[in-house]
Each structure stands twice: as structure tokens, then as C-alpha cells.
Amino acid sequence: MLKAVTTTSLATTCLALAVAGLLTGCPDRSISEVNPEQGRVEYKDIPVTVNRDIDILFLIDDSPSMADKQRNLADNFPQFINVLNTIQGGLPNVHIGIATSDMGSLATGGQGPNIGTAGVNGGCVGNGKGGKLQVKGGASVNGVFISDTLDTTTNTRVTNYQGALATTFATMATGVGVGGCGFEQHLEAIKAALDNNATNAGFIRDKAFLAIIIIADEDDCSMADPQLIQSSVNTFGPFESFRCTRYGVTCDVGGTTPDEMNQIGPKSMCHSNESGTELTKVQRYIDFLQGFKASPTDVIVALIGGPATPVATESRSPGMGAAAVPALAHSCSYVDATGATEVADSSVRQTQFINAFPNRSTFQAICNNDLSDGLVLIAQLLKSVIGSPCIDGELAVPYDCSVSDVTDPGKPTQHETVLPECIDQAVNDNSNNGQACWAIVADTTSCPTGTNLSLRVKRSGMPAPDNDHVIANCVTIATNGTGSGSN
């Protein structure tokens, strides 16, 4: 409990994604205009009462094109854990579960017909994996998810798995296979995993943060109309996954209707077709998760997938000598370790989904032989949400920061109190005439690497307000004369 101390050491790690601006609803700050020698305005959200519990759901696309991407995820997962280990106090109390995008032929409007064989070459049968957490590949886990928590009485870790955490996760991640339904329902699978799924009992803890990490190379196709998966219904066009884009995405330029989306050529200003009846509205899943926790800020979402742009319809053969048909052009590609070309499609619906969680979301392209950067970025976001006492960015001098106490962030009862800079940067007892204030101080004990700087709030013996977050924006210096991120 940080509230109990007189001087509270507060900060977050420098987010690799340079997020500027405060929580939704907070007024703008008067920060000096950033000149060419400055890098960016660095956003920080530091909970005064630290919560070290976090439930992490990996939603992994298990369709036939995902083999290389699953191996990539497994190989680089240690980098994700390495960042979490740098949180003050070490690895947080984690539950880590894996669900897949395979919801079979289930639609929110009914059940579609079975296609092929379950788990084989993209077959869509029944409810698929139905959001059930998967422990596959021979992973030695006692339960349906990984649990690794600290027993504060004995100061020892309590785990339900054998071997190393990263190795156990890698076995599970590749164990889900690549035979899942080719009509991937990522968002519906997330809801199915979290919405009172008895099979997943114990995974979600009431007071824990919830992080959802989507690993996918195609956009969401959460179906509303079960006929979408009917091969004999020619209304939707050829029986290919392009149906999901044609009816689930609208582009203000070049694709305002399904017929326009079917026309060959580029599209722009694309978003979910929320008025359509074939796919489930993205807003359904946004509303579900924003109301899932006591505060929307307790939910973190991330996507490693295809870039949302460019979007284009092209003429392409589905293979096996078949005639070319309208298809969604790939938005990125790369050559894997075997020399094969791997691709991913634009993630318009999924991007709209993660963007509904400001300052709690991040994106990284999946078209990469090394996913370590994306996983590190996500882990840094989780680290910042939990709270870290250290500042990684090189701050402009004199310090140009705006700092506030924000109670009930993200709620209708949100209230903000702007804090002044301490008169005495050493944060002595008499600084700022006993009023709460902030200072940047050297702290090599808590921050042994990087700049060794910490943002501290002096409270003169008074506790922080209940449910308080310290929200800060500080100007950093550009490196080698160039900006380090977005302002």
C-alpha cells in the first residue's frame, strides 16, 4: 500500500508507443510547445495503490496459415516475461491462459452447418473450441491455465506447472495447432472465454487487471448470420473468407456497400460495418469488456496482426487451379526461416476494437521473423499499468511536466486535482508549504538502470485520495536530433 508512506515514489516506464494526452475526460495540460530538440510528451498513469494481480488471455488464431506465427510467438515469449520480471517486486501474480479463434460454425444469430472435420485443415464444426482455455502439446500444467503467484507469507512463488514458465507457455502456444476454423471469430472467442465459461473457472480474479493479447493474421469474422458459412448461399459470393470483409467492413472511399467492397481496387477510411446483419457488431465486444471490470482502465488489449491499412480488393485464385475471384489483398508479408512467404490481411475490425481502450492498447505488425519487439511493447504497457518507480526517457531540463491526482479514472465520478511542482526538488518536509507536489529525483536504489530518475509525489503525511492515479505528461529530449516518438 503506497498510501501509507509520507513520500511516495511514483512513475511508469517509458512506453515504447509514445502516447500523448491524458485519460478520457481529463482536461488538456499547458505543456510548453515541443521544439525540434525535444522528443515527445511522455504519458504516465501510475496507480497509487499498486495491484500486482494480472490475468493474461492470449487469443491465438489456430487457422491453417498460422504455423510460423505460432512458433514465432513461442520463440520470443521469454522476452515478454523478461520485461515483466523488471517490474518492481519482480514478476507480478499472473494467470496466463490461451484460447483460440475457432468457434466452429456458431453465430450469434444461430448455428451454421458443419464444414469439413473439426481440427483438420480449417474445418468448422459445432462450437469449435468454444472459448475454452487450451493446455495442449504435452504441457505439464495442473489446470487449464498457468498460475504463478507470490505467497507473501513465505515470500515464495506458488506455481501450478513444471519447468520454466516460458517453456511451458511455448508448448501450449504451438500445441493449439493450425487446424482451426478458417472463419476466425477472434472477438466472439474472447467473449466466450470470459463470459461465465465454467470450463475456465478460476482464471479471472475479481481484483486483477485483465490483459487480452490477440495473435492473428486475419481480421475478425464473428458471425451474426449463420448463413454466412453456408457454401450453397451464393448471395454472399464465392465461399471464401472474403465474405467476412465484404459484409463486415465498410470503407467510406471505394466500399460504402457490400457490392462496392466486392469491386476490384483500393479502399480507404475503412471501419466495421456496424449497420450490417451478417457479422456481429464490434461495439458488442467493446461494451462487454468496458463493463467487465470495476473500471475500464483495468482492461488492457493488444493486437499482433495485420496492419489495418492498406485495404484493397484484388482478383486472386483460391488455389487448386480455381478461377480468380474477389479477395482481400494482403496488408503485409515476410519471408520465414524456410524461405516461404508468409502474409497477413488488414485487421480493420480488430483495430477498431483495440482503439476503444485509450492508453490501454497497442498494436504490432505480425509480418516479422522476430516478434520480440511486439511482445516487449505489450509487456511494457502491462508494466506501466501495474506501476513502475522508474523513468526511462531522458527528460528535458528544466523539467517540463504536468502532474495530477485523478480519482476514479474512466468513471463518471472521475475527479482531477492538478499538482504543482515542489519548490524543493529534494522533496523535503517543508517543500511547497506542506501541499502535495511533485518532483523528479535521482533514485538509484529503485531505478538502477536507465536514467535512474523517479517521479515522486510529496504528500506531507496526508494519504493519497481513494482510488487515486497520478497522471503525468513530461517532455523528453530527442535522441541525435530526431524525435523519439509521437507528440
User: pLDDT tens, 329-349?
Assistant: 999 999 999 999 999 999 999
- 3-state SS assignment for residue 79: helix
Average pLDDT over residues 285-311: 96
pLDDT band at 56 (very low <50, low <70, confident <90, very high): very high
What are the pLDDT digits (tens) for 222-271? 999 999 998 888 889 999 999 999 999 999 999 999 999 999 999 999 99
Round to the nearest angstrom and report the end-to-end CA distance of the chain. 33
| pLDDT for 53 | 96
- Range name among 27-36, 100-109, 369-378, 381-390 with the lowest pLDDT average: 27-36
Contacts of 396 (CB under 8 A, 6+ apart): 38, 474, 475, 476, 477
Residue 90: CB atoms within 10 Å: 11
Q: What burial class does residue 164 get, using C-beta atoms within 10 Å of its C-beta: 0-12 exposed, 13-18 middle, 19+ buried?
A: exposed
Looking at per-residue confidence, does 262 or 31 come out higher? 262
| pLDDT for 26 | 33
| pLDDT for 431 | 56
What are the pLDDT digits (tens) for 2-27? 323 233 333 333 322 223 333 333 33
**Nearest one of 467, 403, 410, 409 to 436, comparing CA atoms:** 403
Residue 177, CA distances (Å) to 121, 135, 183, 299, 406 in order: 10, 11, 16, 28, 45
What are the pLDDT digits (tens) for 380-437? 899 888 876 577 778 888 888 899 999 888 778 889 999 999 887 655 555 566 688 8
What are the pLDDT digits (tens) for 434-485? 688 898 888 877 676 678 888 888 887 777 877 788 888 888 886 554 333 3
Q: How confident is the prediction for the chain on average, in pLDDT?
A: 86
- Range name among 93-97, 134-138, 253-257, 475-479 with the lowest pLDDT average: 475-479
**The CATH number, out of the four listed (3.40.50.300, 3.20.20.140, 3.50.50.60, 3.40.50.410), of the domain defined by the range 53-386:** 3.40.50.410
Instruction: Give the whole-number percent of the chain exceeding pLDDT 70.
Output: 86
| pLDDT for 395 | 87
| pLDDT for 4 | 31
pLDDT band at 80 (very low <50, low <70, confident <90, very high): very high
Cα separation, 64 vs 72, whole angstroms: 15
| pLDDT for 354 | 98
What residue spans in the chain does CATH classification 3.40.50.410 cover?
A: 53-386
- Range name among 6-15, 148-157, 283-292 with the lowest pLDDT average: 6-15
Check if the beta carbon of residue 183 is closer than 8 Å to that of residue 244: yes
Average pLDDT over residues 275-291: 97
Check if the beta carbon of residue 456 is closer than 8 Å to that of residue 446: no
| pLDDT for 235 | 87
Average pLDDT over residues 265-286: 98
